[in-house]
Amino acid sequence: MQQLVYVFAVIVQGTAWGAQFTMLKLAAEGGYGELTVLFIAMFLVSSCYFVILLVRRSPFRLTTKSLEFFAVTGFLGYALPLAAVLYAAPYLPAGVITLIICFTPMVSIAVAILARTERVSRTRLVAVALGMTAAVMVLVPQLSLPGLGVLEWMLLVGLVPLCYGVESIYVDRRWPEGFDIWQVGFGEAAAAMILVAPLVIVFGEPWPGLAWTTAEVGIVLFSLIGLVEIVLYFWLISRTGGVLVNFCVFAALFAGIAWGMIIFGERHDVSVWGAAAVLLAAMALLTRETVREARTTG
């Protein structure tokens, strides 16, 4: 029964994760500066967490180690990856953005192996090789286009799986003692907001007039969906480790592509669909091995 709960949580988290990046694209096309969107989103997310902490009467005591943890996770989990998505969103389909971000499990496996928290196996090596193949299938066609097409924006979004893959392993190994998922969620979002605030003051663009447009809808939905996604993210890591949580890529990939097609009318060529199929094959290998190991150790 417990395994079914984990599977359901992974599916919900993945669906929310895929929808988030579509909401960011919606917000990025609404007249707000990228840094402004990021700051508003982090303010809304951290405010939601703060209210939850007040209702739960949860103490929030900062230590040197927890400050370091929140600074690192705020940067890797929010500030850098979301800024990359916002700057690239006007130039890339939401489905392609989600596809690139779904390389996160490949990165987390590689980091886990290097950190010696995961064993090296033939299945894992094949999965990583398939992930690299999928990346080549998406990137190489851009090399033949004038001005290299949108390659630079794809590479920028490539920072996202790098950040997320490293962060999940870091969170698993450095979880601050005495903090629950709500406290960690608030700390990470608040840290990201603080990190972004000086950039908004120095480089931010003037805010557009207050109105309820698709941009505002995108920002609010991103924040609410993100609250659900990040709570499930930390909950899964605290109970299953730093790799399983990234298996939400199955749901995220299809959710991101589907929302892009529904909201923006996106259509993808053969290389994108082929890369998605290869990436799913890689994730299927990793999932099968994880299930086998769980049965062996269980």
CB of 186 closer than 8 Å to CB of 47? no
Residue 2 pLDDT: 64
| Distance between CA atoms of residues 122 and 127, nearest Å | 9
Domain residue ranges in the chain: 2-293
Q: Which residues of the chain have pLDDT under 70?
A: 1-3, 115-120, 143-148, 204-211, 241-247, 287, 289-298
- Cα–Cα distances (Å) from 104 to 60, 101, 166, 256, in that order, read 30, 6, 9, 15
Amino acid sitting at position 108: S
Cα–Cα distance, 165 to 243 (Å, whole number): 9
Chain segment 88-114, per-residue pLDDT in tens = 988 888 888 888 887 877 787 777 777
pLDDT given at position 131: 77
Give the C-alpha distances (Å, rounded to integers) separating 110 from 118, 168, 233, 242. 9, 12, 19, 12
- pLDDT score, position 3: 65
pLDDT at 32: 74
Q: Is 59 left (phi over 0), alpha (psi -120 to 50) or beta?
A: beta
- Ramachandran angles phi, psi of 275, nearest 5°: -65, -40
pLDDT at position 76: 94
Among 92, 138, 118, which Cα is nearest to 246's?
A: 118
pLDDT for 79 equals: 92
Per the CB < 8 A criterion, the answer to whether 77 and 188 are in contact is: yes
